[in-house]
Amino acid sequence: MRKPILYALCMALVFSLSCSQESRVGAPHGEDSLAGAEAAIPPGWMEAAGEKLEKELVARYGEAQKSRVQRGLKQISDFWRASDGDQQIFEEFVNGNFAGDQASLDTMFGRFERLLEKAFGHMNEIGREFRQQTDLDLGPLEAYDEVFAAYDPSAHLMDDFFNNKLAFVVLLNFPLTTLDDRLTDGNSWTRRQWAETRLAEYFSKRIPAEVNLAISKAAAETDQYISEYNIWMYHLLDEQDRRLFPPKMRLLSHWNLRDELKASYIDSEKGFAKQRIIEKVMERIVNQTIPASVIDNPQLDWNPFTNDVRPAKEHDSDFSPNRSEELEGPEPNTRYRHLLEAFRASKLADPYSPNAPTLIARRFNENRQIPEGRVREMFKQVLASPLVPRIAALIQKRLDRPLEPFDIWYNGFRAKSKYSAAELDSAIARRYPDSEAFEKDMPVLLRGLGFSADRASFVAANIAVEPARGSGHAMGAGMRQAKARLRTRIGEGGMNYKGYNIAIHELGHNAEQTFSLNAIDYYSLNGVPNTAFTEALAFVFQARDLELIGLQSADEESEALHALNTFWSTYEICGVSLVDMRVWHWMYEHPEAAPEDLRDAVLQISKDIWNEFYAPVFGKRDVVLLGIYSHMIHSFLYLPDYPLGHIIAFQLEEHMKKAGKVGPEFERVARQGALSPDLWMKGALGAPVGPEALIAATETALSRVN
């Protein structure tokens, strides 16, 4: 995963990939949710009891504790339900659990820090083990494997903590804060105050277990759908019925398709034709005209231009999809059915989140802790930059042809390599024939990033490398005596360059996860401000992938090319993110939509964003490629973290260039923990989050490259 595991477990409703379910996803978002919301109304006696208790506690502990008493009583009254007990039980609880002096508060804080780490860490371990068969490339999946993957042992944990009143102990004694509080006052807080704030946030919602389970089931089902959405490239036929790709090439949508398109820029003979056929495959996935039978099926040949399907004339695999019946016609809007189920499952949490009553609000105000409006404006600052047409003209000149829509993935701004894609694949496969070889080499890679031998060994000792079934991911440990997991795809012939590139990205995640958990002062501060920061830190590693294995060295030209590549990548993913954001707004505006309605909306939104920000540059309108990202289906409004990550990563990159070695600065900034985004960034390099550093460096780079 690309986010702090502790936060994911505690805020299951918004980090929906960390939960599971037992009930049907599309069902109750009416009566059941309304009944739950009514049940959360405080009992009628609460106001009188609160006034009485305030007088008693202030008399007992002094006027200095009055504001804490008032805050604590307000916080628990917001969550106390009739089923938690009558007035007598409430008063006994408050009198017995208010920590009225610093020593008692310190003891309470320390106890919760230690025991919650154990609880969340072990729950994370169980969940990881239950998902092992679906997450890792360990052979065929059985029906019961998917049931294990969909089960979340932590789904009832928050319910249990409210029912046994441990949550109320925290709410009585530690402050719940709003985004405005953290933005306004956070600069003056001590790290202990920040840790207390994060501790209270674990209990800032009281989400019923069935809702958490519903979210998790939707996440597990979309994960499964995406992880098996492969295209067998040898069986794609172009307009002349030619096979352009090698046998046995099986690419996952969208990641591997996009990466193969990028890799084809260096293929002077067939590269353009390959890119056109991949573009057509992507279009048919987005508009759902892809024949259902060709998905993950090497027994059929498919011409994406004509959409003709026929039995394979040449065979490169005995693999056959495990389907109970033959599929005919186009994919029946399955992509959008899964997205709707994800939306409806997430929406079940809305009544229990009064301060952030939509997933959109929870993602921006609580997860990212940056208002959506500010994020949107940062993206538009990049998309509308006058640098865009200048870079586009440079790309067109380099390609010596008019731009095509798929050139949003142009990756030619890299230092020239002496090696072809095949040579890179071969070199990587020799170095890393299996996951064990990569794991053994991690200390060497980390020392190449400037970590001392001691710190490189420390990080490597806290990471286990495993072969991924999907494209790869990083999963944090959750507690200090456990290991983080690095998952990447490794084929029969060993790791290829794409797998290595992903592995280096995930190694960046794991390094951040290790430092921000194992080398931090308070467990409640483990992690980083939001997932964009862990993406940013991962990008710092990924940008040095070839340099780490001795195939490229940094110089002024390569740094200029890196700036251009980062800007162009950010330009691309900003548009994709705006599509994701607008689609979620559309679903909230049309909660009863059918899959075909959502399909049409995604197509129109993709065209609208394209026509506003890309058509003036590429000269073509109504392109739908911005809707291809699999994250839109299975990651529940995660995509905006990527452009934020690029922006933040570049800010960090510029800082680390001045500092010299990456390693020591990487550790220093990661150890700040889960502060607010701007405070973290100011502590890292003295400026808030923003694209200004990227834009300035890109302008300088343009003059150098030209």
- How confident is the model over 550-602, as pLDDT tens digits? 887 667 888 899 899 999 999 999 999 999 999 999 999 999 999 999 999 99
β-strands 230-232, 250-252: how paired?
Answer: antiparallel
Query: From the DSSP assignment, how many helices (H) and strands (E) are in the chain?
Result: 33, 7
> Tens digits of per-residue pLDDT, 494-509?
999 989 999 999 999 9
One-character DSSP codes across 281-295: HHHHHHHT-SBGGGT
For the chain, percent of residues with pLDDT exceeding 70? 93
Q: Per residue in 531-553, is it b (16+ CB within 10 Å) or e — as a string?
A: bbbbbbbbbbbbbbbbebbebbe
Amino acid letter for position 317: S
Query: Where does residue 563 fall: left (phi above 0), alpha (psi -120 to 50 degrees), or beta otherwise?
Result: alpha
CB of 346 within 8 A of CB of 359?
yes
Query: Rounded CA gap, 135 and 482, in Å?
Result: 18
Q: From CA 626, how far away is CA 612, in angstroms rounded?
A: 12
Q: How far apart are CA 292 and CA 637, in angstroms?
A: 26
Query: Taking a C-beta distance cutoff of 8 angstroms, is the pair 422, 263 a contact?
Result: no
Measuring CA to CA, which residue among 200, 134, 277 is closest to residue 522? 200
Residue 396: closest CA among 404, 384, 387, 386: 404
Q: Kindly calculate the radius of gyration of the chain based on its CA atoms and give it in whole angstroms.
A: 26
What percentage of the chain exceeds 90 in pLDDT?
A: 75
pLDDT value for 173: 98
Tally of CB atoms within 10 A around 12: 28
User: 3-state class of 485 per DSSP?
Assistant: strand
Query: Please, which residues have CB within 8 angstroms of residue 408's CB and are 6 or more apart in sequence?
Result: 568, 571, 572, 575, 614, 618, 625
Query: Burial level of 221, CB count in 10 A (0-12/13-18/19+)?
Result: buried
Give the span between the Cα atoms of 615 and 403, in whole angstroms: 11
Which residues is 544 bridged to in the sheet? Answer: none
pLDDT digits (tens, 9 = 90+) for 410-454: 999 987 767 888 999 999 999 999 999 999 999 999 999 999 999
| pLDDT at residue 18 greater than cutoff 60 | no
Q: Is the pLDDT of residue 23 over 60?
A: no
Residues 6+ apart with CB under 8 A from 93: 85, 165, 168
| Gap between the Cα atoms of 527 and 225, Å rounded | 29
370-409 core/surface letters (b: 16 or more CB in 10 A; e: else): bebeebbebbebbbebebbeebbebbbeeeeeebbbbbbb
Average pLDDT over residues 626-633: 97
* Ranges 4-18, 76-90, 284-298, 493-507: which has the least confidence: 4-18
Min mean pLDDT across 27-36, 488-497, 501-510, 631-640 is at 27-36
Find out whether 10 and 158 touch, Cβ atoms under 8 Å. yes
Letter string b/e over residues 175-209, b meaning 16 or more CB atoms within 10 A of that residue's CB: bbbebeebbeebeebeeeebbbbbbbbbbbbbbbb
**205 has a pLDDT exceeding 80:** yes
Contact 142, 207 (CB under 8 A): no
Assess whether pLDDT exceeds 70 at residue 24: no
pLDDT at 332: 96
* Bridge partner residues of 232 (DSSP): 250
| Structure tokens given for 697 | 């460096």
SS3 per residue for 564-590: HHHHHHHHHHHHHHHHHHHHHHHHHHC
Nearest-angstrom CA–CA distance, 657 and 469: 36
- Cis? peptide before 254, omega within 30° of 0: yes
Is residue 376 classed as helix, strand or coil in its secondary structure? helix
- Average of per-residue pLDDT values in the chain: 90
User: What are the φ/ψ torsions at residue 237 (nearest 5 degrees)?
Assistant: -115, 135
Residues 535 and 473: their CA atoms lie apart, in Å, by 11
Identify whether the C-beta of residue 222 lies closer than 8 Å to the C-beta of residue 288.
Answer: no
What pLDDT shows up at residue 556?
A: 81
Q: Give pLDDT, residue 7.
A: 36
pLDDT tens for each residue of 124-171? 999 999 999 999 988 899 999 989 998 888 878 888 999 999 999 999
Assign 639 to helix, strand or coil: coil
Nearest 5 degrees, angle CA 170-CA 172-CA 173? Answer: 70
Can you give the pLDDT at residue 17?
31
Q: How many CB atoms lie within 10 A of CB 35?
A: 11
Q: What is the pTM of this model?
A: 0.79
Sheet with 463-467: list strands edge to edge.
463-467, 484-488, 472-475
Do residues 196 and 324 make contact, with C-beta atoms less than 8 angstroms apart? Answer: no
Element (H, E) at 179: helix 179-185
- Give the count of beta carbons closer than 10 Å to the beta carbon of residue 2: 25
Q: What percent of the chain is helix, strand and coil (3-state, nearest 5)?
A: 65, 5, 30
Residues 385-404 pLDDT 10s: 999 999 999 999 999 999 99
DSSP assigned state of 367: I
Residue type for 285, please?
I
Residues 472 and 468: their CA atoms lie apart, in Å, by: 5
| Distance (Å, whole) CA 165 – CA 173 | 13
pLDDT top residue among 4 and 611: 611
Q: What is the pLDDT of residue 109?
A: 98
What is the rounded average pLDDT of the residues 37-49?
Answer: 76
Q: Is the pLDDT of residue 380 over 90?
A: yes
- Tell me: pLDDT of 200 over 50: yes
Q: Which residue has the higher pLDDT, 3 or 512?
A: 512
pLDDT surpasses 90 at 532? no
